Structure 1
């Protein structure tokens, strides 16, 4: 398939169209509907934005601070919808202090922004959506992030894992928080790509 045909085949209007599932190399793209309001399993719809949801979960205070450092809080307060794979504080504890300090510096703001947008996908994607796409994809599924990366999802027992380009992976926890403009899935790792 030529590059032009590939781009045309993968292009999806931002609003108003139903999700399209594409098989790519044995993987299944997760249906991603920007207008979707499906609640995540185990969560209830909320009038709070993604920023408020991050602030309300004390286990995500470190991730909330990183989004604020990258000036992405306004994005997470915006219309969306977005799906955020938010590293827990325990996950951030696994990142060396000097690396976190560097990422929080003004000079590294572009790198921090890129790292964090690699944890966000457009639309509301529930764990049920991901699980269905993994099954339909023969064991794996893909989602494209706001940073332009492709995250790969798979099942490991009953758990869903997410892997970034370069191999960094995390498990999606049981805590998912529905917001008025998307959903937050708590993950146990940081999706640092190489």
Structure 2
């Protein structure tokens, strides 16, 4: 299964799936890739200030939503064993994310990777506990 179908089947990425749909990024992430996605769970989206998700899903905020979502995607298949050797990575939106290992846990900016190396047919998913927002 590709990244999108894997995330949908997992059942904990309903908000992410809705956001990808609103941003029209599903065809991209169903494409050949490979992609590495730092996927925020529904709980991660719920930690955003009230109304944030609803606002981002509005058509007039599509560009901002695309910027945020593509900030969670790195080109190529970067497994956890490789992520820990990086200090940063360039995302699909062209901005860098900071990568640190603190107390044995991988941190992507302010997010912690809670599950790594979820294999898909066109890349890999690392599950994060926080939505990563570009500065």
Instruction: Tell me which interval the TM-score lies in, with the shorter structure as reference length.
Output: over 0.9
Distance 2:82 2:93 in 1: 21
Match runs of 1:33-72 below 5 Å: 48-72=1-25
2:9 and 2:15 map into 1 onto residues whose CA distance is 12
Q: Find the counterpart in structure 1 of residue 92 from structure 2.
A: 146
Answer yes or no: is 1:192 the counterpart of 2:119.
no
Q: State the distance in 2 between where 1:78 and 1:97 align.
A: 33
Tell me which structure has the larger Cα radius of gyration: 1
CA distance in 1, matches of 2:12, 2:112: 15
TM-score normalised by structure 1 residue count: 0.67
For residues 51 and 61 of structure 1, the distance between their equivalents in structure 2, rounded to whole angstroms, comes to 11
- The answer as to whether partners of 2:36 and 2:75 remain within 8 angstroms in 1 is yes
* Coordinate RMSD, CA, aligned: 1.1
CA contact (8 A) 2:80 2:116 kept: no
What runs of 5+ residues in structure 2 fail to find an aligned partner? none
How many correspondences in the alignment? 135
Displacement over 2 Å in runs of 4+ = none
Matched position secondary structure for 2:77: coil
Tell me how far 1:175 sits from its aligned partner.
Answer: 4.4
Question: TM-score, structure 2 length as denominator?
Answer: 0.95
Structure with a larger share of its residues in strand: 2
Unaligned stretches of 5+ residues in structure 1 = 1-47, 135-140, 164-168
